Amino acid sequence: MAVHTINFEPDDRYNAFLKVCAKPSHSEGKLAGIAVAVKDNISTQGIETTCASKILKGYVPPYDAHAVGLIKNAGAAIAGKTNMDEFGMGTSTENSAFGPTLNPCDTGRVPGGSSGGSAAAVAAGMVRMALGTDTGGSIRCPAAFSGIVGFKPTYGRVSRYGLIAYANSLETIGPMATNVSDVSLLMSVISGNDRKDTTSYDKPYAHTPSADIKGLRIGIPEEYFGKGVDPDVGTVVRRAIARLEELGAVTVPCSIPSMEYALAAYYVICTSEASSNLARFDGVRYGPAADTKKSWHAAYQDVRKQGFGPEVRRRIMLGTFALSSGYYGKYYAKAQVARENVRKDFTRLFSDVDVLCGPTMPTIAFKFGEKSDPLSMYLSDILTVPVNLAGIPAISVPCGKVQGMPVGLQVMGRPFEDERVIDVAYAYEQAVKP
Amino acid sequence: MVTEKDVEHIGELADIGIDTSELAIFTGQFNAIVEYFDVLDRVHGDDAVARDLYNVMREDVVEPSLSQDEATRNAGAQEDGFIKAPRVM
């Protein structure tokens, strides 16, 4: 197959990239010659992959993530690796060990996180598409804050092989772009079965977006417009939903009672999984070397104290605590029951409605340093985490502005009805197209 | 209520390496977060894992994989093609 190269010399004034590939090669295919940016927690053979952490500085993966192999085979040129909150732990990209990414819409504000570099690279026009990952909203949040489209596929539809694990039961790789058609195109390349991921599902996505939503039933959960949600954001999103009604959709008020404890359940589960997954970073197989003359406890503690940032250390400790003897029943076991209740709420609602709509984020992008205590940052994930707990597909599509900053409309769908979620976003996008 | 002693113990279990100067701030943050987690006390029921699961494991089949050089290349300390680890005894 013919191999070509492109020139990629972006003006990265937003610190979107941790690594730029100046002359990436590409082959023929659906994505021929398209520059695609890849979040830095997705393995790229021969290209340094750090998860924006000092503990992986210098790590060069010997293999490609399954999704990366697929986009390369489809002709994409890997433009570089994008900045993120360290290991995906954050909502602002302020937790990167290599400095924050700036929001191209207002450089005094965060781009959202954790896939903030991918969002900024797309929003600033440096690349047409990017891969992000979404554990509790990490694709949808930066898409909403930076004014682009971000899609979190159904769990299992995109292989996680080569995605450096943070919270396996929640996270997925997904596409980001300026418009729904490009998101759909990238999704059609990265989805499908992979036997190297035991949670992979054999349901390839081969869909062309359709704007016909006549008769579609849209549930409007009251919690998505309730306490903690900026009323101006709510107004913009309600106006977008009214637009969907004009296109023939029917809206139905509804409620997700389990949202009362969904966020707590999410943070117990993701930190518990993180405490286990991140145990592998000990300076032996990769990253800065451990002092082999010391005893292993002392050597590991040195490496991990130096290598992990404060948020990562906090989450590893929270997870260790939630799983520790005496607390497991109170936190981890309860969180699993809460997760099941979230799933049941969605199942009940989806027996009556086809999709659910609401804001992606409760506010517009915040200013740097605005959320300085960890809990207030966690609370901004309230509208995105239920989707990850249930494993369902959801998209964020730009739907207007508040104080000059973008607002995202979130559309959530039944498991494996990724196509329908894409269609609703596409219908909205086409209706408001200038 | 999580104490500084608890946080020190958890840091030890997680091999995270905590300085005594960090204990107060981590403990304060821990308490705020754990207090928020207490909303889980209101969760009822115990049917967490009733799912339709089936075994996806298969017999191990030897296939071409990474070479020894590729697999060890990222290790900081190596000797004779092997990865060197801190002493355990």
Which of A71, A64, A70, A66 lies closest to A43 in space, CA to CA? Answer: A64
Q: Give the start-to-end residue ranges of the domains of chain A.
A: 1-434
Alpha helices in A289-406 (DSSP H): 296-307, 310-323, 334-349, 374-379, 385-390
Residue B51 pLDDT: 64
Residues with Cβ within 8 Å of residue A320, at least 6 apart in sequence: A275, B10, B13, B14
Residues of A in contact with B21 (CB under 8 A): none
**pLDDT of A23-45, one tens digit each?**
999 999 999 999 999 999 999 99
d(CA A199, CA A157): 9
Q: Tell me whether A196 touches chain B (CB under 8 Å).
A: no
A276 is an active site residue: no
Helix (H) or strand (E) holding A240: helix A231-246
Q: What is the DSSP letter of A290?
A: P
pLDDT band for B58, please (50, 70, 90 cuts). Answer: confident
Q: Which residues are bridge partners to A133 per DSSP? A: A173
> What distances in angstroms separate CA A382 from CA A120, A263, A299, one per listed residue?
23, 6, 38
Q: Say which amino acid occupies A83.
A: N
pLDDT band for B48, please (50, 70, 90 cuts). Answer: low
A169 is an active site residue: no
Instruction: Please state which CATH number belongs to domain A1-434.
Output: 3.90.1300.10
Contact A268 B37 (CB under 8 A): yes
pLDDT at B71 over 90: yes
pLDDT band for B49, please (50, 70, 90 cuts). Answer: low
pLDDT band for B89, please (50, 70, 90 cuts). Answer: confident
- Name residues of chain A where pLDDT drops below 50: none
Q: Tell me whether B60 touches chain A (CB under 8 Å).
A: no
Q: By percentage, how much of chain A surpasses pLDDT 90?
A: 96
Helix (H) or strand (E) holding A260: helix A259-277
Helix (H) or strand (E) holding A221: strand A217-221
Residues of B in contact with A313 (CB under 8 A): 16
Q: Give the start-to-end residue ranges of the domains of chain B.
A: 1-58
> What distances in angstroms separate CA A46 from CA A16, A43, A223, A271, one per listed residue?
20, 9, 45, 30
Q: Tell me whether A214 touches chain B (CB under 8 Å).
A: no
**pLDDT of A126-142, one tens digit each?**
999 999 999 999 999 99
Residues of A in contact with B82 (CB under 8 A): none
pLDDT at B47 over 80: no
